[in-house]
Structure 1
Amino acid sequence: MATIRKSLARKKQKDSGKQEVMFRLSLSRENVFRIKSQIYCEAKYWDAKKEKVLIPRVHGKVQAELLSLQKKLDELSSCLLEQILNLPAEKVNKELLEHIVHVFHFGEDENKDDECEDDFVDLFKTFISVRVKTSPRDREFLCVLRMLQRYELYRGRGYKLSLDKMTDLDVLKFEEFLKIEYTFFDQNGKCIKYAHIYKKIPVTRIPKQRGINGIHGTMKMFRTFYNWAVKTGRTENNPFKKYQLPACVYGTPFFITTEERNRLFEFDFSDSPQLAVQRDIFVFQSCIGIRTGDFYKLTKDNVVGDSIEYIANKTLNKTARTVSVPLIPQAKTILERYRDENRTELLPFISTVHYNKSIREMLKRAGINRIVTIINPVTRQSEQHPIYEVASSYMARRNFIGNLYKKVKDASLIGCMTGHTEGSRAFARYRAIDSEMKKEVVKNLE
């Protein structure tokens, strides 16, 4: 028998502080789905044990709103169960459940079989709401949508984004637009071309010259939208069948060594207490190899015994496998140093922008300045820089993987502690095969 369990998502809405109610629908032990309800509740009004809204006895507007909220949750639960009750288990999937939730809130799209050009933007937003599961990722897709809207205005002459009429040539022209958009502005950030575009679709940051890898990421997200639209029956047109994504190029991964990490940890930042805090956070991230997006979501509950445990957002919809990383003494020292019962987050995080700036500053001040060779993302030419100039929070993940791989050459073992799926091709971007490792291998010929 199908059952639904309810819980609050960890993330709070920035404006209201509410948290989304998540549904865990179980058909059997093998068929379990976690879906968003698109219904939000404040944590203080949620009874986690009873899995329902807490209704205060005092009459008033708040009580009425909470009663309505609980009624809506009950109706959505009934709606989900009623629609899947008579379906074979193999026909129930996440997309069907998300569609039921969407129809419950917004009604059936009467024009679904007769898609009109003006529906493209709305459909893209619907795709984001039902398919994109993490906050950083939904912002990235919204950014792609704004690029497409600017591209539509750039084409001019009545050109409209159309789900059914988009061709591979349109996709190529969009790629070309991404390459040249930065030329619409001068060095001072003043718009010198197509000003009408940015009046209608403003940009928060002036577009910079984009590298091939960045364009690859944008086009890949655009392709994901079309794959979803075809799979869910919104269209039979897929312009990406004839389009080839630009190939990504990655240089040799660079990272700080264990010795450099220890030197950084022991460096005296007493004249800059805030930098000392961020130094500890960077060292801790280097000790567990977690992605920054997942790192910032860690709470004290993620400390299980002598390990950090979490589910990586990137693979949440594929494996939902729990990642467990044992804590080394250095990491335990940092946790103890910032133990605070009044703080929900694991550590005193700041914005990722300021975190990255702090990383570069701390490495420079600690004298970690050896030269590394990188690939310029725009020109694709090799360049040499002090490591502190090109460091970021992303490097903390490489610090973990690179240093471990030098000692334990087992990608599967390390990958299970970094959230990589089995046989991940992306894993190769994090570990380097250096001269010492080659010498060890060659010794087998002696």
Structure 2
Amino acid sequence: MKATAFIRKSASKNDTNSVATIYFRLRDGKKDIKAASELTINPNHWSSEKQGYKDRVALVHEEKKLALNNEVQNIINLISQEYTPEADSEWLSTLIDKYHHPNRYKTEEEIAAETKPTLLDLFAEFLVKHKLSEVRIKNFRVVQRALARYELYVRATKRGQKGFILDVDLVTPDTLRDMWDFFQNEYQYYELYPSIYEAIPEKRTPQPRSKNTLIDCFSRIRTFFLWCFDNKRTTNRPFDKFPIEECTYGTPYYITLEERDRIFNADLSATPQLAIQRDIFIFQTLIGCRVSDLYRMTKLNVVNEAIEYIPKKTKEGNPVTVRVPLNDKAKEILERYKEYEGKLLPFISEQKYNDAIKKIFKLAGVDRIVTILDPLTHNEIKRPIYEVASSHLARRTFIGNIYKKVKDPNLVSALSGHKEGSKAFRRYRDIDEEMKKDLVKLLD
């Protein structure tokens, strides 16, 4: 079988206005069929040998010549690919017309599929239309980028899936299990498939994800699917047969008031920058806010000898103003920095703040061993507290020490900015040995 292109019209040598239709011919043994296309060319410019423009044609732009030559070759290739022994003139005419007007031959299902939004299109719409705090939007965008990389990963690794696109209607529990495997092992794919991470980068190299992190990621994907279902964007509910476990946390550890005072009174004059960050850490233990809320504070947050703020995490859900009266230590720290302009205190980046906290603990001799849950293995491990200290330890110190005194989660949540009935307080019920001893004494 051989497919070729030809024209039937000739023109005088200086005729630059004539136009000839380009025909296609298919020969296979005794079969010889022809059909016209919608492509045209000046007969003087046609090369039968090249089946396209001659090499040197004056007054015709190179891009125009290249475009027509490509079209001719595309139709020849299409005829060769689609040819069957039953082909006739009508078949050839239809094939060429289909090439020029593909939409005429599409089914309603194909047209609907082309106009249907992809899962990632819907995810972008979800982030705009679903009410989320700024913090949660950032977290959802991490998942959005990971889903986009999963799409590229499937195209690169699964046979026959080069055109793979996530479709909200076609995600199954098996798809979710495959996604889970990708999310869990993504840190290994960074070097194997660098083009994926060049296309959809992250600020830092992918690290191993703990089970809790994976649970958080898939809880967000489930929230997205429920939004799609509630807004009639799909009838698909793949999470009905893909249960997500609860996150597992160890018992919260925090520093005692004695350890806090040891840090507060430590001589850090040799490292003045650490002394400043020590003051900020102690101040955070005295007001109990998250570090994201602390870093947004200015002197305007000090109102009638108290700190007032709306927690960023719950700001858009059910905004409540948290008011924490300042004790003498907190007032003393603010007095030290009353001349500082801008933010409430001399904040540095959160990462540098966390690094400084570890150094401060070690210099202050706060080094007792604590039991923590390894996030990757979920095994208990023992570590000096200065190795695991961070800004969130300040918040836990505030909550733990107050909870130890009043044992009322609703009172503590009024100061800490937790939602009423927050699951976080379940963990604090196990933290105090003295509380346990008090209970046992009830049996005397």
Same fold per superposition (TM over 0.5) = yes
Matched letter for residue 413 of structure 2:
G
Give distance in 2, aligned partners of 1:391 and 1:431.
21
For 1:308, what is the secondary structure of its paired residue?
strand
TM-aligned CA distance change 1:115 to 1:142, over 3 Å: farther
The equivalent of 2:297 in structure 1 is 298
Asked whether the equivalents of residues 151 and 164 of structure 2 are also in contact (C-alpha less than 8 Å), the reply is yes
RMSD: 2.0
Alpha-carbon shift at residue 288 of structure 1 (Å): 1.0
Q: Where in structure 2 are the equivalents of 1:19-418 lying within 5 Å?
A: 116=115, 119-131=118-130, 133-156=132-155, 157=161, 158-185=163-190, 191=191, 193-340=192-339, 342-343=341-342, 345-418=343-416
* Alpha-carbon separation, structure 2, partners of 1:376 and 1:163: 35
Do 2:135 and 2:313's aligned partners in 1 also have CA atoms closer than 8 Å? no
In structure 2, C-alpha distance between the alignment counterparts of 1:320 and 1:353, rounded to whole Å? 28
Q: Partners in 1 of 2:380 and 2:400 — Cα distance?
A: 21
Q: 2: distance between equivalents of 1:428 and 1:238?
A: 31
Alpha carbons of 1:350 and 1:211: their partners in 2 closer, same or farther (altered >3 Å)? same
**Could you tell me whether the CA contact under 8 Å between 1:257 and 1:403 is conserved in 2?**
yes
2:419 alignment counterpart? 421
CA displacement, residues 310-364 of structure 1 (integer Å, 9 cap, x when unaligned): 1222223343222111111111111111123631x22221111111111111111
> Per-residue CA shift, 1:164-192, capped at 9, x if unaligned?
2222221121111111112235xxxxx1x
Gaps of 5+ in 2: 1-111, 156-160
Q: Deviations over 1:360-411 (max 9, x none)?
A: 1111111111000111000111100000111111111110011112221111
Distance 1:126 1:336 in 2: 47
In the TM superposition, residue 431 of structure 1 has moved relative to its aligned partner by 5.5
Q: Which amino acid aligns with 1:296?
A: Y
Equivalent position SS for 1:166: coil
Q: 1:118 Cα shift? A: 5.3
CA distance in 1, matches of 2:186, 2:179: 10
CA distance in 1, matches of 2:115, 2:238: 17
Distance 1:160 1:126, change over 3 A: same
Q: Deviations over 1:102-139 (max 9, x none)?
A: xxxxxxxxxxx979565432332232234364444322
1: CA distance, partners of 2:126 / 2:433 = 47
SS in 2 for 1:339: coil
* Residues 133-166 of structure 1 deviation map (CA, whole Å, 9 limit, x = unaligned): 4444322221111110111111221321112222
In the aligned structure 2, how far is the partner of 1:362 from the partner of 1:177?
39
TM-score (norm 2): 0.70
Gaps of 5+ in 1: 1-112, 186-190
Distance 1:159 1:114, change over 3 A: closer
Aligned pair in 2 of structure 1 residues 117, 390: CA closer, same or farther (>3 Å)? Answer: farther
Give the secondary structure class of the aligned counterpart of 2:309: strand
- State the alpha-carbon separation in 2 of the partners of residues 114 and 316 from structure 1: 39
In the alignment, the residues of structure 2 paired with residue 376 and residue 333 of structure 1 have an alpha-carbon distance, to the nearest angstrom, of 38
Distance 1:153 1:248 in 2: 29
Q: Distance in 2 between matches of 1:236 and 1:132?
A: 22
Distance in 1 between the 2:344 and 2:240 partners?
45
Tell me, yes or no, if the aligned pair for 1:398 and 1:430 is still in contact at 8 Å.
no
CA distance in 1, matches of 2:152, 2:123: 17
**Paired residue secondary structure (2:420):** coil
Separation (CA, whole Å) in 2 of partners of 1:275 and 1:341: 17
Give the equivalent residue in structure 2 for 1:444.
442
Q: Would you say the 8 A contact 2:367–2:384 is kept in 1?
A: yes
Q: Deviation digits for residues 22-59 of structure 1, max 9, x if unmatched?
A: xxxxxxxxxxxxxxxxxxxxxxxxxxxxxxxxxxxxxx
Q: 1:242 to 1:178 in 2, by over 3 A?
A: same
Q: Distance in 1 between matches of 2:294 and 2:347?
A: 9
Q: Is the 8 A contact 1:184 1:194 kept in 2?
A: yes
Letter in 2 for 1:374: I
In 2: Cα distance, 1:299 partner to 1:240 partner: 43
Kept after mapping to 2: 8 A contact 1:401/1:431: no
Give the conservation status (yes or no) of the 8 Å contact 2:288–2:416.
yes
Distance 1:354 1:169, change over 3 A: same
Provide closer, same or farther for how the CA distance between residues 386 and 431 of structure 1 changes in structure 2, counting only shifts above 3 A: farther
Q: Which has the larger radius of gyration?
A: 2
Query: Are the counterparts in 2 of residues 370 and 387 from structure 1 also a CA contact under 8 Å?
Result: yes
> Partners in 1 of 2:260 and 2:340 — Cα distance?
28
After superposition, give the CA deviation of every residue in 1:55-96 in whole Å (9 maximum; x if it has no partner): xxxxxxxxxxxxxxxxxxxxxxxxxxxxxxxxxxxxxxxxxx
